[in-house]
Structure 1
Amino acid sequence: MEINDLLIFLKVAESNSITKAAEELGYVQPNVSERVKKLEGELGVPLFDRTNRGVEILSAGEIVQNYANKIMSLIEEMKGTVRSEIEIYNIGTTQSIAKIYLEKRFAENESMCSLFVESNLTLKKLLKNNEVDMVITNRFLNDTTFKKIHHIKENLILLKSINKKKVDLQTETFFVSRDQKCPFRQHTLQYIQDKSLLNSQVIEIDSFDIILTMVSAQKGIAFLPESSLDNGFETANDIEPKVFEINFYIRKDSNKSIPNFLIS
């Protein structure tokens, strides 16, 4: 029994006509009739009742139809799994998300992924132009061509090095990203305004890794994801955490299999 025979059988069952099935499949009618008869011969039972109006599926045919659909579904699942293992999946994200969310997952999984680390504005353009398969961002992307498939919540807290004994907010240095759309930056600036602190206390650094290094070296403090506590940090005060979302977007017309480790 060949897979193609099952495909032909399913098309005949769907259209209730050997002639229509042949037209849709691009085959000549005798070829379709022969393949159906071959399948019936292998199974030892008729699958269709031939009439002047076309064909009507019999009870045995309904059983075969049910199994054939399952087989075809498994084949498609197999193809998708194989493609996901050999295709390079392109991901666009920010420095902070790459560090706090993707770094460990990349190290622990073998899926082939390419990473684009860009600003939030650039990420939207990359997905729009189909240059990446997924964008992981802490922003809401309002675009009808995108589909949000997943999100996680993270607490944003003010952190210092565990070796830093005292924090004086009136003189402390706050590290922020230069990305104007970074929620960590926006929250920091709002906090400084609410506390009537000085803008001169803010130092902009383009590298999220360097911000972590500077905080670790007791050069200042920063609003960082709660997961950063694993890097030798502790809360700088008793401020209530601010919840923010990390959102996962793909194009609506995407048919590329998503690596499971990204959204598990």
Structure 2
Amino acid sequence: MDIRDLQIFLAVANEGSITRAAEKLEYVQSSISIRIQQLESELKTVLLHRNRQGIRLTTSGEALKSYAEKIIFLTQEAERVVSDNSIPRGRLRIGSLETTAAIRLPFILADYHKSYPEVDLTLKTGTTEELVQSVLKYELDGAFVAAPVDHAELEIIEVGAEELVLISRGQIGSIDGPDKLRNLTLLVFRVGCSYRRKLEDWLHLEGIIPAKLMEFGTLEGILGCIYAGLGVSLLPRSVIERAIVRYNLQYHEISDKFLRTPTLFIRRKDSYKTAAVSEFINISRKRFSIDESGRPIS
């Protein structure tokens, strides 16, 4: 098997479409189809079921996909290990929660780029569950997620902690307990978000069923709707400290320690920790321990 054939097959499997895979790889669609057919002929098995809606992996295709992910990762890692001379350089793929990307990450990236300009860093945002899966599938070198995370194949490093607070528009009165949320619309990220799960678990423990949940894909969408008076949300306090400049918002502290959550950096245990990754973790830890003015966070 040729490594390029495996890369093409994996692109088709991940995209669920030969057309989209061809666009992503900048290949002619017919060329992708021929390479897949040649791979099937070489392996003497059918890898894809083709239909009008796209493609679906066969049992053999699912098995090959798992090995292809590992083979491609190990090939890329071998290149990194051989060329790694303790000076951070090369590609670094980082994942992050929306809130971390909006509030914490800009300063981490600025510090990192200033110190290590030879690193080609890319960023992907998502929920904790999405980012965990991306790291496990070798699609990311590491990611910022919210606790709790527990997986035997992951190295889990606590880099900081977030105090979760309820955020509302200024006209809404004090929210001094979960009972006040009973008749309010709760604005949350999509399923898989740790903050959403924290809020739902907290209300469940208190025996409260919210009037309505509205799901959003971005932090800006949630903040804009809070500003419009649509509802309230549970978010890190660091978010309101930035958003209060732009929006007429207020936050309500919650004494329950259950709603204080560590921010974790996760990576695969079996992956080589390059100098680029090690220094990114070091800078992240330092940045999580100070505020925007450079003062230590207690």
TM-score (norm 1): 0.59
Letter in 2 for 1:160: S
Residue 254 of structure 1 is matched in structure 2 by 272
> Are the structure 2 counterparts of residues 189 and 142 from structure 1 closer, same or farther at C-alpha, using a change threshold of 3 Å?
closer
Letter in 2 for 1:236: H
Is the Cα contact below 8 Å between 2:183 and 2:210 reproduced in 1?
no
> Are the structure 2 counterparts of residues 80 and 178 from structure 1 closer, same or farther at C-alpha, using a change threshold of 3 Å?
same
Match for 1:244 among 254, 261, 266? Answer: 261
- After TM superposition, list the pairs within 5 Å mapping 1:171-210 onto structure 2: 171-179=183-191, 181-193=192-204, 197-210=208-221
> Are the structure 2 counterparts of residues 222 and 182 from structure 1 closer, same or farther at C-alpha, using a change threshold of 3 Å?
same
Is the Cα contact below 8 Å between 1:100 and 1:227 reproduced in 2?
yes
Residue 92 of structure 1 is matched in structure 2 by 95
Deviation (angstroms), 1:115: 0.7
> Are the structure 2 counterparts of residues 183 and 129 from structure 1 closer, same or farther at C-alpha, using a change threshold of 3 Å?
closer
Confirm or deny that 1:150 pairs with 2:126: no
> Are the structure 2 counterparts of residues 221 and 148 from structure 1 closer, same or farther at C-alpha, using a change threshold of 3 Å?
same
Is the Cα contact below 8 Å between 2:160 and 2:262 reproduced in 1?
yes
Is the Cα contact below 8 Å between 1:138 and 1:245 reproduced in 2?
yes
Structure 1 regions of 5+ residues with no counterpart? 1-77
Deviation (angstroms), 1:223: 0.8
**Superimposed CA distance per residue, residues 83-140 of structure 1 (whole angstroms, 9 cap, x where no aligned partner):** x1x3231112222332232134335542542111133333223222322111211134
> Are the structure 2 counterparts of residues 250 and 203 from structure 1 closer, same or farther at C-alpha, using a change threshold of 3 Å?
same
Structure exhibiting the larger radius of gyration computed from Cα positions: 1
- After TM superposition, list the pairs within 5 Å mapping 1:68-217 onto structure 2: 79-81=85-87, 84=88, 86-107=89-110, 109-110=112-113, 111=116, 112-161=120-169, 163-166=170-173, 169-179=181-191, 181-193=192-204, 197-217=208-228
Structure 2 regions of 5+ residues with no counterpart? 1-83, 175-179, 287-298
SS of residue paired to 2:85:
helix
Whole-angstrom CA distance in 1 between matches of 2:194 and 2:152: 23
Is the Cα contact below 8 Å between 1:174 and 1:201 reproduced in 2?
yes
Whole-angstrom CA distance in 1 between matches of 2:128 and 2:163: 20
**Superimposed CA distance per residue, residues 155-200 of structure 1 (whole angstroms, 9 cap, x where no aligned partner):** 1111223x32436644322111122x32221232234445655443
Tell me the number of residue pairs that the alignment of Structure 1 and Structure 2 aligns. 183
Is the Cα contact below 8 Å between 2:147 and 2:261 reproduced in 1?
no
Confirm or deny that 1:222 pairs with 2:230: no
Whole-angstrom CA distance in 1 between matches of 2:224 and 2:125: 19
Is the Cα contact below 8 Å between 1:91 and 1:116 reproduced in 2?
yes
> Are the structure 2 counterparts of residues 121 and 196 from structure 1 closer, same or farther at C-alpha, using a change threshold of 3 Å?
closer
Deviation (angstroms), 1:255: 2.9
Whole-angstrom CA distance in 2 between matches of 1:193 and 1:251: 33
Q: Root-mean-square deviation (CA), in Å?
A: 2.9
SS of residue paired to 1:144:
coil
Identity of aligned pairs, percent? 18
> Are the structure 2 counterparts of residues 245 and 160 from structure 1 closer, same or farther at C-alpha, using a change threshold of 3 Å?
same
Letter in 2 for 1:135: A
> Are the structure 2 counterparts of residues 99 and 132 from structure 1 closer, same or farther at C-alpha, using a change threshold of 3 Å?
same
> Are the structure 2 counterparts of residues 130 and 160 from structure 1 closer, same or farther at C-alpha, using a change threshold of 3 Å?
same
Residue 251 of structure 2 is matched in structure 1 by 235
> Are the structure 2 counterparts of residues 90 and 238 from structure 1 closer, same or farther at C-alpha, using a change threshold of 3 Å?
closer
